Structure 1
Amino acid sequence: MPLSAVAPPVRVPIRSGFDYVAVDPQRHRVYAAHTASEALTIVDSQSGKVLGQVEVGPLHGVAVDEATGHVFTGQSDQSVAEIDPVTMKVLRTADDLGGPVDAIAYDPSNGHIYADEDDGTCIFVIDAKTLKSIGTVTLPGHKPEYLSINPVTHQVYQNIANLNEFVIVDPTTLKVTKTVATPDIKNNHPLQYDPSFGHVLIGGANGIFAAYETNGTLVGKTPIQARVDQCNLDRSAHVIACAGSGMITVLRDNAHAAPSIVAQMRIASEAHTLAIDAATKTVWTVWAQHDGDFVQGFKISP
């Protein structure tokens, strides 16, 4: 299953740097946190062209409301914003959350936006309807890294990087109900949940990618490049892509065995985040280098 470039890299206006990436397959859009430019970059996934950038603040996390097409962003100025990518305007902002925001996730079933406190001790929880804070989840450790939502139980799976573990959060009580050690992973960073297999998929700075059951049972582990930052799962195909250390690695989540590598490609050394367009099987990544900032798509071929 090789990877091939869809087109040459496309320059993104303003030199700076990026953080997390998200895709809206239905509307053919790619969204990237253009952090140092304090703007959300909007890309047409069909043409690969940059459509525009929305100034929102020092953003890191990005999540899409698939029902409306709106985009939620989390900023290090202690805010979460809602953006209309059609009008390219910030609609509302939840300010003064109590700490800088890193990764975010959105659960459309209950309208919760979960926002990690960057290098902090909690998850801020915001009601998407009102964009008001409805509580916080107290976490162990001091480095929540990435999170994913169970679409059936609506539990939240949250990486705790400095303790090499993930926790399970009850969406009603907003409390941690279980702590799961991940001794094979050091400095947990990316996390995704495969609902069909019930696997929590985690990558670490030590170059190991592992699948765990939610009770902590190790399904299997696979060596990949070190220091992966963002991974993104195509749940329909059980295919997950990870970026870091100048490489994209694509793996397949297997029901009863360790994840298996199906493709790897060297990319710009500065690229560390990505997202998969599940409709077109294209991996989109972004990076900043000395001569500019870029976005590029890579096709996953069968």
Structure 2
Amino acid sequence: MEDWLPSKRQIEQLQAKVFAFYGEHGRSFPWRNTTDRYAVMVSEVMLQQTQAERVVERFEAWLVAFPTVQALADAPLREVLALWSGLGYNSRAERLQRCAQTIVADFGGVVPALPEVLLQLPGIGAYTSRSIPIFADNFDVATVDTNIRRIVLHEFGLPETLKPRELQMVADRLLPHGQSRKWHNALMDYGALHLTSQKSGIRPLTRQSKFQGSRRWYRGQMLKALLKTEALPLEALEATWADSPYCLRDIASDLVREGLVEYHPSASADDSPLLRIRGSG
């Protein structure tokens, strides 16, 4: 047995501290009030790289527009991207729709319950494959995100070089049987509100760079422009952002490769190719 793993007493002390904090300071979010697996899946994908407070309004609007897996699977990509706009990382929306389409085709429209099955779906990674059954079904499995990693390292004095496999070992030991949903919600709030990165001195493994003027910003601006019309000549987009430090043709090619947009032939062979949201027209 690895001697760096927390003892039973240490585990019980941390559980008591985190649950006590949660009882007094726990946050309320709409996705915490449902056990619908589809709704939880939507929230978990939205929360992957977006702050919870920014997700609330879009999450509620999403379930009105696409209340079921089938509704999302059948929706035009243009509508999906338009509703996602503002959350960032728009490729998540396209992958979420492909995920819904796969669930309809392979699972009769029912979101799978097992992590190992969820992991095979588009846009579902190791963390989300566990978080969906945790929050929807109170499934007894542990998962690790940035907050949980920070708590584990700080509370047990472990090095930031700890490998993902080792972090998972600690998370597994910490899990109180039968309380997976409550435990993970409590950990999220303890890390987000109390043991912050600034307070602990433990930094995330990856840090977001400045957004304004970044390549990701230009991607988002291009998608917003295309959502406002049926199609736009590539030359028009290049003229709009002529001062861009990035090659907009390369960005357009990335969006095409990711399935977000497509090229559409111009009326004249001499004209610049048209770009449009995939499936438009």
- Greater helix content: 2
> Normalising by structure 1, what TM-score?
0.30
Question: So what's the TM-score if we normalise by structure 2?
Answer: 0.31
